[in-house]
Structure 1
């Protein structure tokens, strides 16, 4: 099992596979990665953007995220009422599925457990029992293949061809994830890719649904929240390390993103907010208490 030490907005650090049952309320901003991902809501309530659509997932719902499909998490339930099964697998372990996964997109990426064959549940449970200390790549690839074979008929796969804008978006997201803590601007990024500032702004507003300044700010605050939680560095040092010129601008940005000041965030930490095996990003701030839910996935926009 491969554990990621950081989760940038473009994830590309997965060596083979990643399997975890996560009990913390995950808050990931919009991001992409080149591997297949399965999310199972074992308990709780999660709002997800998958592609351009928004979905609300409840207990026993699954989200199937194909490679290079933008997606985000916003967990509605709190840590005491959340259990997410998250499984990722690189395409090299799925050679018979690689063509399908790269050339198609699900029209319906959210499934409910009562739609699925018993073999799907069996394969998923076996994945969670994999020994992380052993080399189980072939076994994991086989189990994931079983999951996909049972999921395909329910996903309503549609042919997909990547276009120039999508390729460029992936490159830009990856570039910013690597340079977010540096002194980068809209002008610097646009010149790096040989495009106008206007075109770059349109990519952010139309494709990523967020402005460039807000996107960069959230990336920096995500890193700051991690450092506040997992290190003893003073707040001023963290501000400079995360790309802010002074503590005042850092405090203001942190309050806008997290809803509290950096000092209040650190003071009220409830144990280990960021587990070692999955470092979540927190763009949305205060979590809500779950209300009574139904049992079917609902597309809430689009």
Structure 2
């Protein structure tokens, strides 16, 4: 860990076999940038499905639920880098460009690194990983310098490069629509049968395809969306926990408390009053 950076700062390179599956749901109180060196996969961030291929980089803002999934054709071993950091780690950038500008350009999305720049960015990432292991007393300063260069590159790509998501097939497009529908209607009573009818597909097909495409079971995704909104309301409002539970689509405050603890590892009340432990 680099002591000149925030407690969240970390970068590592991961190698996943084709058979690997991410069982747990991910959500972090920091930014995460994922760059793919090799292999292919889908990644769901919030309610949008992105197709990752070598040379793509996905931005995951703080608090956004996300999960990777693999199709039947994704047989190649996957190599990727995950970089986590706090907005505090970009204070130098916020001072120069404004905090709102930086946040507005670090929203969820995918960046396709130009072919002629892949070697540059992959070398930059490799050097950052090496220096973050702190081989000598100068490494802390080098990590900060490399991170600054990396962030400028990301913002340039976001502002001037190709940030369009890769095309998804018609079947996955339907699942994308379902995910968006659930995300926008989490406060209502949503059932798999009703959603399947609304999108003119069978219940069994929707259940299987949603899991295959997003990595989430249908109920699991709905629950995580509701908990995400509950977290926001706990921190930003003075509403009672019972009112928040009902506002997020739960019809039982006790079940809400149990579900919240299961996903966040802490009670709603403790989350509200001691956010540092989350």
Checking the alignment, whether the CA contact within 8 Å between 1:25 and 1:82 is kept in structure 2 is no
List per-residue Cα deviations over 1:238-261 (Å, max 9, x = no partner): 011111112101101101111111
Counterpart of 2:197 (choices 191, 194, 206) is 191
List per-residue Cα deviations over 1:256-281 (Å, max 9, x = no partner): 111111011112124xxxxxxxxxxx
Shift of 1:54: 7.2
TM-score by length of 2: 0.51
Unaligned runs of 5+ in 2: 1-27, 33-43, 51-55, 61-65, 71-77, 94-101, 126-147
| Corresponding position of 1:32 | 48
Checking the alignment, whether the CA contact within 8 Å between 2:193 and 2:203 is kept in structure 1 is yes
Counterpart of 1:56 (choices 77, 81, 97) is 81
CA 1:166/1:126 → structure 2, altered by over 3 Å: closer, same or farther? closer
Q: 1 or 2 for the larger relative contact order (CA 8 Å, sep ≥6)?
A: 1
Checking the alignment, whether the CA contact within 8 Å between 1:223 and 1:242 is kept in structure 2 is yes
SS of structure 1 residue aligned to 2:227: helix
User: How many equivalent pairs are there?
Assistant: 186
Checking the alignment, whether the CA contact within 8 Å between 1:254 and 1:262 is kept in structure 2 is yes
Shift of 1:112: 2.8
Checking the alignment, whether the CA contact within 8 Å between 1:239 and 1:250 is kept in structure 2 is yes
Counterpart of 1:233 (choices 208, 231, 239) is 239
Checking the alignment, whether the CA contact within 8 Å between 2:69 and 2:215 is kept in structure 1 is no
Distance 2:254 2:159 in 1: 48
List per-residue Cα deviations over 1:69-95 (Å, max 9, x = no partner): xxxxxx4x6787788977369xxxxxx
CA 1:178/1:49 → structure 2, altered by over 3 Å: closer, same or farther? closer
| Corresponding position of 1:258 | 264
CA RMSD, Structure 1 to Structure 2 (Å): 4.9
TM-score by length of 1: 0.48
Higher helix share: 2
